């Protein structure tokens, strides 16, 4: 009788907290958890899954691993094994995990999975070579959440190497509260008919000096985020529907914040303040961009129209402070987002994005965040 009362009370408390958090991780290697597995499972059964907003809310939505219990990883071997195991739906990264040279993890052909970090969790690569760099390559995956992780590369070096993370031919992906630092080729690229993507509360930065003398010819390849790999990748037409919301392109970023081809990309409530910037948002071939209520501060060329071959670049309700270069769109009205999203007034964006729980891996774990 007491046990039933206890379980009922726990369930009531869990249901009351559904709207505030979806943090449901458990260290499966902890022997003390065995005695409480029944009550944990019952709580998980009534817990709400995190659900993405923005473009990732479309096409059936994005919930990742839902309320599955988390497999905790602390080493490269256990991280790779958990990612490759299609039966593991929730992965919690603890501490700092070093990705060995040529150890880039290929995360392919999976559906319904969440990878998140506990406070301070970090995936680090020190390899700057063309073939062996990079941290994670996500390909042909669907319904994926990546949250609260720091991805740290060795610094930019134009050797046609790998990004910290690449998203390839994947749909319904939510990247939330992550920090991308010092990628070799870039921080985080999205390409090859990827679709229905939301990137929220993420921070992009370069903290390490770039390495000069790369074969690509640039001595300062701190180019953060590329959307669409090439003008010839015409299969991307009708895809690359992406929302960037409440993100921060911070110090060290030189260009590609992001650089877009083909996609319908909603860039809303973000903060740009890299004083070494040469171009921020770059509008490439057939890009359809809605640039809404962002803050640009001490940057060059906030809106780079490049070759003037974009479909639409609509710039509305932004704040430009101490900037140089173009701040206008191309005079064409952009797409209308098919989703509802809460849009902050531009005057509050900087404070929100740079707050202690703002952009970056600023959470304690797999905590739901709303936009």
- Structure token digits, residue 283: 């509008």
Closest by CA position to 144, among listed 79, 225, 198, 202: 198
Residue-wise pLDDT tens digits, 244-259: 999 999 999 999 999 9
| pLDDT tens digits, 101-146 | 999 999 999 999 999 999 999 999 999 999 999 999 999 999 999 9
In the chain, pLDDT over 70 holds for what percent of residues? 87
CA distances from 175 to 120, 201, 206, 310 (A): 17, 8, 19, 26
* pLDDT class of 100 with cuts at 50, 70, 90: very high
More confident residue, 235 or 35: 235
Calculate the CA 111 to chain-centre distance.
Answer: 17
Q: 102: domain CATH number?
A: 2.160.20.10
The pLDDT-based confidence of 368 (bands split at 50, 70, 90) is: confident
The mean pLDDT value for 72-101 works out to 98
Cβ distance 65 to 87 under 8 Å? Answer: no
pLDDT tens digits for range 304-313: 999 999 999 9
User: What average pLDDT does this structure show over 46-64?
Assistant: 82
Check whether 79 has a pLDDT greater than 70. Answer: yes
The yes-or-no verdict on residue 25 having pLDDT over 80 is no
Helix and strand counts by DSSP (H, E) for the chain: 4, 27
Higher per-residue confidence, 41 vs 243: 243
Strands of 226-227's sheet, edge to edge?
Answer: 105-108, 136-139, 165-168, 188-191, 226-227, 259-260, 281-283, 303-304
Residue 23, in any domain of the structure: no
Looking at residue 279, its pLDDT comes to 98
Is residue 239 within 8 Å of residue 264, measured between CB atoms? Answer: no
- Which pLDDT score, from 0 to 100, does residue 39 have? 31
DSSP state of 31: G
Domains contained in the chain, number: 1
What is the pLDDT at residue 316?
Answer: 98
Amino acid 369: pLDDT: 77
At residue 371, the pLDDT reads: 86
Provide the whole-model pTM: 0.89
Residue 16's pLDDT band, with cuts at 50, 70 and 90, is very low
DSSP characters over 153-178? -S--B-SS---SEEEES-EEEEEES-
Residue 23 has pLDDT above 90, yes or no: no
Q: In the block, which residue shows the tokens 């001595």?
A: 219
Which 3 state secondary structure label does DSSP give 9? helix
The answer to whether the beta carbons of residues 318 and 345 sit under 8 Å apart is no
- Render pLDDT for 183-209 as a digit per residue (tens, 0 to 9): 999 999 999 999 999 999 999 999 999
Do the beta carbons of residue 177 and residue 360 sit within 8 Å?
Answer: yes
241: in domain: yes
> Does 17 map to a domain?
no
Residue pair 302/280 in contact (Cβ under 8 Å)? The answer is yes
Residue 353: is its pLDDT beyond 70?
yes
pLDDT of 301: 98
Task: Report the range of poorest mean pLDDT among 7-16, 64-73, 130-139, 256-265.
Answer: 7-16
Q: What are phi and psi of 149, to 5 degrees?
A: -125, 145
Asked if the structure places residue 11 within a domain, the reply is: no
Q: In degrees, to the nearest 5, what angle opens at C-alpha 173 toward C-alphas 314 and 354?
A: 60
Check whether 26 has a pLDDT greater than 50: no
In a domain, 153, yes or no: yes
Across all residues in the chain, what is the average pLDDT?
Answer: 89
Q: How high is the pLDDT of residue 24? A: 36
Q: What pLDDT, on a 0 to 100 scale, did the predictor assign at position 51?
A: 79
Structural contact between residues 182 and 127, judged by C-beta atoms closer than 8 angstroms: no
Q: What is residue 41's predicted lDDT score, i.e. its pLDDT?
A: 34
pLDDT for 149:
98
Is the residue at 15 inside a domain?
no
194 in a domain, yes or no?
Answer: yes
Q: Residue 127: phi, psi to the nearest 5?
A: -90, 125
Q: Determine, yes or no, domain membership for 202.
A: yes
pLDDT given for residue 309 in this prediction: 98
| pLDDT(64) > 90 | yes
The band of 2, judged by pLDDT with boundaries at 50, 70 and 90, is very low
Query: 208-213 long-range contacts, Cβ below 8 Å, gap at least 24?
Result: 208/154, 208/155, 208/156, 208/181, 208/182, 209/155, 210/155, 210/156, 210/157, 211/128, 211/155, 211/156, 211/157
Comparison of pLDDT for 1 and 111, the residue scoring more? 111
Overall average pLDDT of the 50-58 stretch: 91
Q: CA 304, 306, 308, 310 torsion: positive or negative?
A: negative
| pLDDT tens digits for range 164-188 | 999 999 999 999 999 999 999 999 9
| Beta bridge partners of residue 223, listed in sequence order | 255
Domain hosting 157: range is 51-353
Confidence at residue 15, expressed as pLDDT on a 0 to 100 scale: 34
């Amino acid at each position: 009788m007491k046990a039933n009362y206890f379980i009922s009370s726990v369930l009531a408390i869990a249901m009351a907290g559904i709207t505030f958090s979806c943090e449901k991780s458990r260290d499966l290697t902890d022997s003390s958890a065995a005695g409480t597995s029944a009550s944990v499972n019952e709580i998980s059964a009534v817990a709400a899954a995190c659900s993405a907003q923005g473009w990732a809310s479309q096409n059936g939505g994005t919930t990742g691993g839902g309320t599955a219990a988390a497999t905790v990883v602390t080493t490269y071997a256990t991280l790779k094994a958990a990612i490759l195991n299609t039966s593991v739906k929730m992965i919690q990264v603890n501490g700092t995990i070093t990705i060995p040279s040529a150890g880039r993890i290929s995360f392919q052909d999976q559906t319904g999975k969440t990878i998140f970090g506990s406070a301070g969790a970090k995936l680090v690569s020190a390899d700057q070579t063309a073939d062996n760099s990079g941290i994670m390559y996500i390909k042909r995956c669907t319904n994926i959440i990546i949250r609260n992780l720091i991805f740290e590369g060795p610094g930019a070096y134009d050797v046609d190497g790998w990004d910290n993370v690449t998203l390839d031919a994947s749909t319904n992906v939510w990247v939330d509260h992550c920090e991308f630092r010092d990628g070799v080729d870039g921080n985080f690229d999205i390409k090859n008919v990827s679709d229905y993507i939301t990137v929220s509360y993420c921070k992009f930065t370069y903290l390490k000096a770039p390495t000069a003398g790369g074969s690509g010819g640039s001595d300062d390849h701190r180019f953060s985020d590329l959307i669409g790999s090439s003008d010839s990748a015409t299969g991307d037409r009708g895809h690359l529907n992406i929302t960037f919301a409440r993100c921060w392109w911070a110090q060290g970023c030189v260009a590609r914040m992001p650089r877009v081809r083909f996609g319908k990309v909603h860039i809303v409530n973000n903060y740009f303040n890299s004083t070494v910037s040469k171009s921020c948002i770059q509008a490439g071939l057939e890009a359809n961009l809605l640039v809404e209520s962002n803050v640009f501060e001490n940057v060059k060329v906030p809106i780079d129209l490049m070759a003037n071959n974009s479909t639409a670049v609509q710039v509305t309700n932004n704040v430009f402070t101490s900037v140089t270069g173009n701040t206008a769109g191309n005079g064409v009205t952009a797409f209308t987002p098919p989703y509802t999203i809460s849009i902050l007034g531009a005057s509050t964006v900087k404070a929100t994005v740079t707050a202690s729980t703002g952009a970056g891996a600023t959470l304690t774990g797999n905590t739901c965040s709303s936009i």
